[in-house]
Amino acid sequence: MPTLRLSVNGQEHSVEEVDPLTPLLWVLRDSLGLSGTKFGCGGGFCGACTVHLDGSPVRSCSILATSAVGRKITTIEGLAGDDGTLHPLQEAWIEHDVPQCGYCQAGQIMSAAALLESNPVPSDAEIDAAMTGLCRCGTYNRIRQAINSAVQNMGNTSARKEGGA
Amino acid sequence: MNDQYLHDVIRDAEAAFEASPETRTQTLGRRSFLKLTGLAGGGLALAFYLEGGTQSLAAQASGEFAPNGFIHISPDGSILIYSKNPEIGQGIKTAFPMIIAEELDADWEDVRVEQAPIDQAVYGRQAAGGSRSIPSGWDQMRQAGAVARAMLVAAAAQEWGVPVSECRTEKSTVIHSGSGRRLGYGELANRAAALPVPDPKSLTLKKRADYKLLGTRVTGVDNYKLVTGQPLFGIDQVVPDMLYATYTKCPAPGGRVGQANLDEIRSLPGVKHAFVLQGNGQLAELRPGVAIVATSTWAAISAKGQLRVTWDESEAAKDSWSAAVKRARELAKQSGSEILGETGDTAKAFSSAAKTVEAFYSYPFLSHAPLEPQNCTAWYRDGVMDIWASTQTPQRGLTSIAKMLDIPEDRITIHQTRVGGGFGRRLMNDSMCEAATISKQIGAPVKLQWTREDDMAHDFYRVGGFHSFKGAVDDSGKLSAWEDHFVTFSSDGQKPVTGGNMSATEFPLPLIANFRLTQTLLPLLTPCGPWRAPRSNAVAFAGQCFFHELAVAAGRDHLEFLLEVMGKPRWLDPGSSRALNTGRAADVIRLAAEKAGWGKSLPEGRGLGLAFYFSHAGHFAEIAEVSVEDNKKLTVHKVTVAADVGPIVNLSGAENQCQGAVIDGFSTMLGLELSIENGRVQESNFDQYPLLQLAHAPEVEVHFIQSDFPPTGLGEPALPPAAPAICNAIFAASGHRVRELPLSREGFSV
């Protein structure tokens, strides 16, 4: 079986003897010990396993680890700054006390972080379209609040569009 | 398919419901605190407290003050509080320590929280279920804090040579009122540890008006770890050199393994073991199946995909939902064979009725579908078993494993992890029993992982059900009669399955002068279990929609009609503070109406719907504002919740529970159903069991009436009124009466 070279959270990793059909999710969790990325459905439906591939959100249960070779992978463990400074979304998640069971929240935050990276001032409709991950506990009101709060804290208040879309 | 384990879980839960507050308090006397004290600090601390006066060497060396199993105060002033019950998303890991910190007068900034070890001798019952943690732990947590505070005050008074009565506490500090001298709790820890433990009953607990921490918004104690992806859950646990397993069972419950291609499986990459387990005859413990053990989760899942099993289904379930629906519709034409309760004279009331309404309601089977699929890590070696599990009932799991694998209970340790969603699913420890059995068989640490498909195929489902109603209003527009023929399921032909039971105490029956509740049991082998707000989650939909139908038939405003039925303020069971109080009910109904703008004028196609429900000792009124377009496209704009559960512990957590419960309620009623044919659940993943997404979640506004009644739990009671409130709003907006869930069955979409 091949050895994979993966770039995860700014570090190069060499993973030996990987079945070429292994989803990225299980390489992250089992081989690299990055268990912040969660297994929820294995079919790309729930979004608990969302990570960034070159800055774009992907559902890591549904892409092969081999397809991530040569690309920049960011997981929830790598979202904060190197000095431990939390991403504004992480701060907002704590401030708004978003989690209940908390299992989906890493995936929710990674989805939101990718959204704000490409669209720093999303409208409600754009948040709706980007945030398709499932929360079984129903924390959606607070997820929306936390995203809006992070947008403001990132200094994008003035640019905030009026009304909805 | 009588399942003793499940029966015991339910009986345990019901017994605790029935325990009066007085009974619960009596178990928390001085002796139990002494007992807690010693064991909490380990054997040496036990000796110290029970023998009185002589501080143990261990405690002296560390300078730690551990007055009971819940609190450790270090000389540096840090306060470690242990939260004893599993955290499943209900917020107990933050709420319990808040209650302790309030009575301790600890500065919340000094407090660090850890999950308590699972130890019945120290902590008593440790479980999450039935919205019971807060009501059953309220006195115990307050007393734990008060005992420690009293000892710290006594230590300071001794240090200063002043009477205890001249000392007060605030922010982890004892202050001498006369001189203004101050000593921090850390500075007092060593001296306090040498003092006798006071009788908790001798201590005065705070009044609600004096609370500084309780009732405020506190962010969850694990939130930092959650947002940074740290390993908190069962699925995240790692043991050195562990292997990874899957376990495959017959898709029809009760099926046994016939033939399996084990040799082929053993030859696959990464596979170390493949073997058949026969099960122990208990559906909620170990069912027959095929274990595959491999070097990674993916290798185990991948090999599972190659597994070919011929099942022996001679004793397996053959249940069919479509056949049950057909049979229930036939039965609807007649009264039930068994009378569960009746009062007054319904026949007479119907004969003199001004209006009579008949309606047939139904709701489907549901899966719990917690987002963390079932999993468990077990490590058996040298006669000792360690278990890491996302469970709601760790102590029951321990007992099961001890019995099933013949291991003494004191050689088993359950490491309680954070739980990625419970909803009642993890009251059962089947994945724990499987992992433990596999580890013992191979003599190695193993993490068992269920796939989502396993999780949906092997649940203890929310049972579907049917209600054939007949109701009447009299000449004056008052509700005068109510008949409900409840068609439910039974696995033994004697009693309904768990969650499929009703009684004459169910709201609103005790408030109706002439009612008759009958029941018919249909056979079922599919295992059923408690699903968030068992029974109420379904009965509230049917009953409170039909209640609205009667208000409409009477030409009455729903709010006024509902308040009239409540009548004058009174307890329905004067002996229990966990009973429905019609005054508290009327207050939340009025508050919801005021906050939601009941009676306001709305554009065409938009309406308000109301429902009240009482479950788990919580009084909840909810009003939904809904738009329905011509193509049955639905928007739930907002749901306003008014609740009385006594004093609020953590306002943030409490609101979150209500918001989540309402969204769970809407998610479920909108599109979730399981079709069961030939004993098999047909749906297997979230594409066929579509939970609500953020885009369609209503805004949920929550208002609490903070009364001084004993606090009751919040994990469940906000859910039952959501479905009827939304259905009643759909009627107000469109004139369409929903009598069958999910809404997608009647053509609604979002």
Assign B550 to helix, strand or coil: helix
How many other CB atoms are found less than 10 A from the CB of residue A38? 29
A113 assigned to some structural domain: yes
Q: How far is A109 from B60, CA to CA, in rounded Å?
A: 46
pLDDT value for B622: 99
* Closest-CA residue to B440 (of B257, B275, B249): B275
Please report which residue ranges of chain A form alpha helices under DSSP H: 24-26, 88-95, 105-118, 124-130, 140-151
A164 assigned to some structural domain: no
Determine contact: B217 vs chain A, CB below 8 A.
yes
* pLDDT tens, residue by residue, B139-169: 999 999 999 999 999 999 999 999 999 999 9
C-beta atoms of B227 and A40 within 8 A: no
C-beta atoms of B423 and A136 within 8 A: yes
Assign B357 to helix, strand or coil: strand
| Contact partners, residue B183, CB within 8 Å, separation at least 6 | B156, B159, B173, B174
pLDDT value for A17: 85
For tokens 């030409």, name the residue: B555
A162 assigned to some structural domain: no
CATH fold for the domain made of B495-514+528-746: Aldehyde Oxidoreductase; domain 4 (3.30.365)
pLDDT value for B8: 63
What would the mean pLDDT of A97-102 be, rounded to a whole number? 98
* pLDDT tens, residue by residue, B380-403: 999 999 999 999 999 999 999 999
Q: Looking at the structure, tell me whether residues A102 and A150 fall in a common domain.
A: yes
Q: How many CA atoms lie within 13 A of B207 on its CB side?
A: 1
CATH number assigned to the domain comprising residue A22: 3.10.20.30
Q: Looking at the structure, tell me whether residues A94 and A63 fall in a common domain.
A: no
Best mutation site among B371, B652, B688, B699 for testing chain A: the one with the most A CBs within 10 Å?
B371
Residues from chain B contacting residue A34 (CB–CB below 8 Å): 229
Residue type, B178: G
CATH number assigned to the domain comprising residue A136: 1.10.150.120
Q: Looking at the structure, tell me whether residues A33 and A55 fall in a common domain.
A: yes
Q: What is the DSSP string of B227-243?
A: HTT---BGGG---TT-E
C-beta atoms of A38 and B371 within 8 A: yes
C-beta atoms of B372 and A101 within 8 A: yes
Residues from chain A contacting residue B686 (CB–CB below 8 Å): 41, 43, 45-46, 134
Residues from chain A contacting residue B224 (CB–CB below 8 Å): 94
C-beta atoms of B452 and A40 within 8 A: yes
Q: Looking at the structure, tell me whether residues A118 and A95 fall in a common domain.
A: yes
Residue type, A34: L
Q: What is the DSSP string of B328-346?
A: HHHHTTS--SEEEEEES-H
**End of a domain among A51, A78, A105?**
A78
A30 assigned to some structural domain: yes
Q: How far is B722 from B668, CA to CA, in rounded Å?
A: 10
* Closest-CA residue to B667 (of B640, B688, B642, B694): B694
Task: Please check whether residue B235 is in contact with residue B390, taking contact to mean a CB–CB distance below 8 angstroms.
Answer: yes
Query: What distance lies between CA B639 and its chain's CA centroid?
Result: 22
From A158's Cα to the closest Cα of chain B, the distance in A is: 25
Q: Looking at the structure, tell me whether residues A70 and A92 fall in a common domain.
A: no
C-beta atoms of A131 and B373 within 8 A: no
pLDDT value for B343: 97
Determine contact: B241 vs chain A, CB below 8 A.
no
Residue of B nearest to A133 (CA): B693
For tokens 């059923």, name the residue: B528
Q: Looking at the structure, tell me whether residues A38 and A98 fall in a common domain.
A: no
Give me the number of domains chain A comprises: 2
pLDDT value for B333: 86
pLDDT value for B40: 34
Task: Please check whether residue B379 is in contact with residue B239, taking contact to mean a CB–CB distance below 8 angstroms.
Answer: yes
* Closest-CA residue to B134 (of B718, B648, B656, B708): B648
Residue type, B749: S
Residue type, B648: I
For chain B positions 302-341, those within 8 Å of chain A (CB to CB) are 302
By CB neighbour count within 10 A (0-12 exposed, 13-18 middle, 19+ buried), where does B436 fall? buried
Q: Which two tokens stand for residue B676?
A: 């069961």
Give the number of beta-carbon pairs within 8 Å between A and B. Answer: 194
Query: What distance lies between CA B220 and its chain's CA centroid?
Result: 18
Q: Which CATH architecture has domain B236-315+370-457?
A: 2-Layer Sandwich (3.30)
pLDDT value for B66: 80
What distance separates the 2 farthest-apart alpha carbons in chain B?
83
Q: Looking at the structure, tell me whether residues A14 and A49 fall in a common domain.
A: yes
A12 assigned to some structural domain: yes
User: What domain range is A111 assigned to?
Assistant: 88-156
**End of a domain among A24, A47, A78?**
A78
Residue type, B80: L
Q: How far is B156 from B177, CA to CA, in rounded Å?
A: 12
pLDDT value for B26: 31
C-beta atoms of B422 and A101 within 8 A: yes
CATH 3.40.50.300 fits B21-227, yes or no: no
pLDDT value for B5: 56
Task: Please check whether residue B339 is in contact with residue B350, taking contact to mean a CB–CB distance below 8 angstroms.
Answer: no
| Contact partners, residue B749, CB within 8 Å, separation at least 6 | B632, B633, B634
Domain boundaries, chain B: 21-227, 236-315+370-457, 495-514+528-746
From B102's Cα to the closest Cα of chain A, the distance in A is: 20
Q: How far is A21 from B215, CA to CA, in rounded Å?
A: 51
User: Is the interface score ipTM higher than 0.85?
Assistant: yes
Domain B21-227 identical in fold to domain B236-315+370-457 = yes
**End of a domain among A78, A97, A117?**
A78
Q: How far is B483 from B731, CA to CA, in rounded Å?
A: 22
Q: How far is B441 from B463, CA to CA, in rounded Å?
A: 35
For tokens 């594409």, name the residue: B687
A54 assigned to some structural domain: yes
**Phi, then psi, of B521 in degrees rounded to 5:** -105, 130
Indicate the pLDDT class of residue A157, thresholds 50, 70 and 90: low
From A128's Cα to the closest Cα of chain B, the distance in A is: 4
| Contact partners, residue B713, CB within 8 Å, separation at least 6 | B90, B130, B131, B132, B133, B134, B135, B616, B617, B618, B645
pLDDT value for B39: 29
pLDDT under 70: residue ranges of chain B:
1-63
Assign B546 to helix, strand or coil: helix
| Contact partners, residue B326, CB within 8 Å, separation at least 6 | none
Q: Looking at the structure, tell me whether residues A31 and A69 fall in a common domain.
A: yes
Per-residue buried b or exposed e for B438-459, using 16+ beta carbons within 10 Å of the residue's own CB: bbbbbebbbbbbbbbbbbbbbb
pLDDT value for B12: 55
A53 assigned to some structural domain: yes
Q: Looking at the structure, tell me whether residues A71 and A94 fall in a common domain.
A: no
Global pTM?
0.94
Q: Looking at the structure, tell me whether residues A117 and A92 fall in a common domain.
A: yes
